[in-house]
Structure 1
Amino acid sequence: MAVLIFSSVDIWGDDEDGITEENCSRDCQIVLVENIPEDLSLPLDGRPHLPLSLGFNTLLDQAKHSVEVVSPGQLLFQRLLSLKSRGVKLKIASSLTNSAELKTLAAHNAEIHFVNMTAFTRGGLHSSFWVVDRKHIYIGSADMDWRSLSKRKELGVVVYNCSCLALDLHRVFSFYWQLHERDYIPSIWSKRVTAIYGRHDALATTQRHRGCCLCTSPELFCARDRTRDVDAIHQVIQNAKTFIFISVTDYLPLVSRSFRGTSVTRYWSAIDEVIREAVVLRGVRVRLLISFWKKTHPLTFNFVSSLKSLCMQLPNCSIEVVRNHDWVGSDLAINTGVGLVVKMKNSLEDRGATILEQLKAAFERDWKSRYAKNLLGNKDQQGKYRNLKQGKMHMESKEENKWNNPLSL
């Protein structure tokens, strides 16, 4: 006698306020927001970007009905508390079960849902985004930690008047929201959590954007039709014709798994191989800017040195390694994340004004700054790691400081 029990629970998303794929706004204004710590002196070439704090406060000023937040920490705590007096509904998805700030917000009528990431992937809820009135959004590296506005170098985008993209990001939020008090992923998906746009059917806006779409990780958290982070990165690199500028906190193509109580680490080739292919087979110029900070893994030096060595014997080959979200195999495999892919229309009139040109300018500013150091061919990588770490100590304040210093390899 055998008994087979199949369970399928449909996840229902929240009401979408009458916004549909047919009537949503495509008049999307994408603005780059950035936080540069006061003690980090970077040249202001061209038009400065919108300060991150101003971007957050502008979103809260415009909120009329709802603010949905996925981000840990206590950033803008008092501003979030004040939403109640304006009749704005605040909803937060978090994995921080013991946060005093979240308990205070809950006491002021905020709705808090906790996502037990340990039960799903043994990872963390590392996504950082806001959805305001299903109309405006923020996506970026900054979490709701006070250091994001004081000690850390952060970068992100605020998208205004784009209910099409906001509706799609709201569906990502709804997915997290419905995992409250669950320890499994339901096997049946509601339409209200499935993706509206993807890398093969991106959102065409009325502005200069040929296509925009969201991408998420890990794969377990990708609802039907949702583009995986790794696939989006893969496609962007494969489509590159002349150059690829990459700025990440950590570059470590390894995945660590636990097998029968033993930690097993293996090479994770998904992104590393496509970069090598671009450099060697297509002659694309690659610049890799990675952070040097306290948590930099020593093996990082081995992998970036391996990338750099590809060009030693090849003509017309260029890969330069000098220094924000991590490209670490384990992070993309077990931690949540949300990204935005933007493809621009070709227009000479818009040169220098598009979000892509602004990103390129920010990268080149950091690349040319006095904090960026070229990775030299040094066989003693471990020793180099120790020397750089000692040289960096004078820059750190006495208080705990984990911001991503662009002092690099």
Structure 2
Amino acid sequence: MFVNGGYTAASEKAISKWRKTQMIVVVVFTICILAVLCNLLVLPLLFSSSSEYNTPDIPCTSKCRVVLVESIPENLTYPDGAPSHVSTYQTWLNLILSAEKTIDIASFYWTLRPHDLNISGDFPSAKEGETIFKELMKAGTNRSIQIRIAHSIPDGTYLPNLDVEELVAAKAAEARALNFTRLMGAGILHTKMWLVDDKHFYVGSANIDFRSLTQVKELGAAVYNCSCLAQDMSKLFEVYWKLGEDGATVPPKWPADLKTDFNFNNTLHVPFNNTDARVVLSSSPPPFCPEGRVSDIDAILHVIDEAKSFIKIAVMDYLPIIPEYGSRSIPQLFWPVIDDRLRKAAIERGVTVQILGSIWNHTSYKMLPYLRSFKIIDEIRNNKVDVKLFRVPTSTDEQKKIPYVRVNHNKYMVTDNVAYIGTSNWDGSYFTVTAGIGLTVNNTATDGPSEDPNTLQKQLLDVFNRDWNSEYAEDLIFPAGN
């Protein structure tokens, strides 16, 4: 109300109250906007992983490439036109030379030079291993590449790890040894993995050993320009690195920055060689698996269960037991986990199963009877199960002098839709107390298995068939009198 051309006291009071209400509304609205912005932009930065080794997530691109890798022992030959692949030696050399910042290696032991074995003489087959050692030394010194090595505690003269000691002494690398007696009560770090710049990696059967390059038959996969998958692999290495700390124990719960989103409920889609693939990285033993990580045994069982027509397995040792440890202080246990699932696939689903084991100077006498028991299923399902043994011939004096060589050391499985490449032999100890990893690649399209010859599944299938039908594969027969 106006009085003498001005406001009354009542009107001034009303206006003041309205202005205060307006200010409160503006302040509350501003606070809400700031809260939304904080939730979207600030909090993710505050609570994201602080690990110094983490790198920003990079989406998979068409540059992702997977290459099958083999070591074919000297004097083991195949007919012209047989499948062949890049060598383990060339792959490791490529990884070293391509490194710009980091090289992480997880391994059982190191014997890149023959003098580590306390054997005398000239060994031409060791030249490739010696080259790998020299290039790692140059990478860690001249090129300032950060090299980290996770390995099992050395076992005296049998596995001295002199290569690692020399690299560390020269400040070319940092190393940590995992004590599995303390961590798991038994077992070893049996993983064989190289990781470069969180962008490229190798996984397979080859130990860091000159023999794995020229005297032992090995198989693995190299993945290039694939940060999305390599970053997931780096989390597996970080588990080993943490467990290699002084006095380390397996934590009841792993840090959140080591969890993974990628498993069989949510596979990582990778355009391998311009072909869509669904990929999962698995790990053993289960206590080494942070949240979301598939255990290696569960990955193997999943691949077996998903097979529709065939399962082909190449593995050095196949035993449905957990062997005794420590002079039998830990007794042998029956462990038919894989065995039962294979028999179920053959008997109930009519899946053809082929197992290619290895026969050499150190084959377990227990393995052959277990493998023969598979042959009985032939009588039920019309030859749906078959077993052979692959023998690498020994022909030169050098090959006779070098211990623990001339063996098919492969550890893989291929089905009608999946390729699986692992680092573990197939007895129960490797999945319960021993560390290993597996790479599962599914190239199956919506209308069935891919016919693309560039897929890992097709290449692995060709390798298996090459070996199964070669002169080096022997039929598994029953002893005379049985």
Q: TM-score range by the shorter chain?
A: 0.7 to 0.9
Equivalent-residue separation in structure 1 for 2:376 and 2:77 (angstroms): 32
SS at match of 1:264: coil
Q: Structure 1 residues 294, 258: closer, same or farther in 2, change over 3 A?
A: closer
Equivalent-residue separation in structure 1 for 2:241 and 2:275 (angstroms): 33
Contact preservation (8 Å) 1:168, 1:196: no
- Pairing 1:131–2:195 present: yes
Equivalent-residue separation in structure 2 for 1:138 and 1:107 (angstroms): 26
Which residue of structure 2 aligns with residue 18 of structure 1?
55
For the pair shown, the structure with the greater C-alpha radius of gyration is 2
Equivalent-residue separation in structure 2 for 1:279 and 1:348 (angstroms): 20
Contact preservation (8 Å) 1:13, 1:175: no
Contact preservation (8 Å) 2:66, 2:221: yes
Q: Report deviation, 1:113.
A: 1.3
Return the match for 1:81 from 137, 162, 165. 137
Q: Report deviation, 1:244.
A: 0.6
Q: Structure 1 residues 283, 193: closer, same or farther in 2, change over 3 A?
A: same
Return the match for 1:149 from 213, 236, 245. 213
Equivalent-residue separation in structure 2 for 1:284 and 1:348 (angstroms): 16
Count of residues in Structure 1 that have an aligned counterpart in Structure 2: 367
Return the match for 1:105 from 151, 154, 167. 167
Residue identity in the other structure for 2:253: I
RMSD: 2.2
Equivalent-residue separation in structure 2 for 1:277 and 1:345 (angstroms): 23
Residue identity in the other structure for 1:330: S
Q: TM-score, normalised by structure 1?
A: 0.84
Equivalent-residue separation in structure 2 for 1:167 and 1:357 (angstroms): 26
Which residue of structure 1 aligns with residue 75 of structure 2?
39
Equivalent-residue separation in structure 2 for 1:54 and 1:152 (angstroms): 15
Q: Structure 1 residues 357, 99: closer, same or farther in 2, change over 3 A?
A: same
Deviation by residue 1:327-347 (Cα, 9 ceiling, x = unmatched): 111222211101100000338
Equivalent-residue separation in structure 2 for 1:152 and 1:259 (angstroms): 28
Equivalent-residue separation in structure 2 for 1:195 and 1:30 (angstroms): 21
Q: Report deviation, 1:108.
A: 2.6
SS at match of 1:86: coil
- Pairing 1:319–2:319 present: no
- Pairing 1:340–2:439 present: yes
- Pairing 1:117–2:154 present: no
Residue identity in the other structure for 2:66: I
Note the 1:344-383 alignment, pairs <5 A. Answer: 344-346=443-445, 350-378=451-479
Residue identity in the other structure for 1:345: T
Contact preservation (8 Å) 1:136, 1:159: yes
Q: Structure 1 residues 44, 360: closer, same or farther in 2, change over 3 A?
A: farther
Equivalent-residue separation in structure 1 for 2:148 and 2:470 (angstroms): 40
Where structure 1 has 5 or more consecutive residues not aligned to the other structure, the ranges are: 1-11, 382-409
Equivalent-residue separation in structure 2 for 1:316 and 1:275 (angstroms): 16
Return the match for 2:260 from 176, 182, 195. 195
Residue identity in the other structure for 1:140: G
Equivalent-residue separation in structure 2 for 1:354 and 1:181 (angstroms): 43
- Pairing 1:290–2:347 present: no
Return the match for 2:148 from 83, 91, 96. 91
Q: Report deviation, 1:348.
A: 8.1
Q: Report deviation, 1:217.
A: 0.8
Which one has the bigger helix percentage? 2
Q: Report deviation, 1:350.
A: 4.7
Equivalent-residue separation in structure 2 for 1:197 and 1:44 (angstroms): 41
Q: Structure 1 residues 65, 185: closer, same or farther in 2, change over 3 A?
A: same
Return the match for 2:231 from 152, 167, 176. 167
Which residue of structure 2 aligns with residue 301 of structure 1?
368
